[in-house]
Copies of this chain bind each other. A is one copy, B any other.
Amino acid sequence: MVEHAQEALFRPVRAGNAFEETVERLMQSIRLGVVAPGERLPSERDLATRLGVSRVTVREAIRSLQENHYVESRRGRYGGTFVKDSLPKSAPGKEFGDLHDVLTLRRVLETGAAETAAGRSLGPAERRGLRARLEEASTSSLAEYRRKDSRLHLAIAEATGSAALTAAVAESRMRANELLDHIPLLEPNLAHSNAQHERIIVSILDGDPAAARQAMAEHLDGTASLLRGFLV
């Protein structure tokens, strides 16, 4: 038997119970900026269907988010569950997963996504979307930066046309963001990031896969070395 491959194949089949997984997903959609502050989450019934869990479980998850002041719910028609404008800081609790593990997977997924996106012929809507996310990120405040940054990177993953790749990038970014929340975000870094973002998007829109990969690699290696410096 090939010994090491077992670690990957015989890992736990479920990350947590249905409740925890559901909380995690809703948190992701908020923390990654997919549902922005002030916006409404899909209805409980809708979420239950999409997430493949019962409405009871969705409600328990939402209750948990309410108690942590991430969302508030309003009843009646045109009611719903809305993301609060002022989001609480993330709980610093979690241990760091294996740093190497997180960064390796992120690099593979995101440089691959950039290259793949650049190799496709994008429709006008997708091109506009990418430019819009770039603009959002470059004009965002320090407070909003992590969220806008994630939206941009997710938009790049979506531009590959692969839902599985997009899901993998979202998952990987959450893990990376947990680490990034522990290091300071400084104006100079932000300006540098914006310049790199611009290069990435321009390369994708120009249809230059090699340049897109290269630009994304440099961008990620920047934050990776920041992380290694702060956390070691």
A contact residues vs B (CB 8 Å cutoff): 1-2, 4-14, 18, 21-22, 25, 28-29, 32-36, 39-40, 42, 47, 50-53, 98, 100-102, 104-105, 107-109, 111-113, 115-116, 151, 154-155, 157-158, 160-168, 170, 172
Contact = CB atoms under 8 A, between A and B. Distances in A.
Given A2-B155, A34-B2, A104-B116, A11 B162 contact: no
Contact of A9 (B1, B2, B32, B52): B32
A50 B98 CA distance: 18
Nearest to A104: B162
B8 A166 contact: yes
Contact of A52 (B14, B160, B161): B14
Contact of A1 (B1, B14, B18, B35): B35
Number of identical protomers: 2
A7 B51 contact: no
B2 A13 contact: no
A104 B161 contact: yes
23 contacts: A2-B151, A6-B29, A6-B42, A7-B163, A8-B157, A8-B166, A9-B170, A10-B29, A10-B50, A11-B50, A12-B50, A12-B52, A13-B18, A13-B25, A14-B14, A101-B163, A101-B165, A102-B164, A107-B112, A108-B112, A109-B112, A112-B112, A164-B172
B13 A53 contact: yes
Contact of A167 (B8, B34, B108): B8
Contacts of A50: 10-12
Nearest to A169: B8
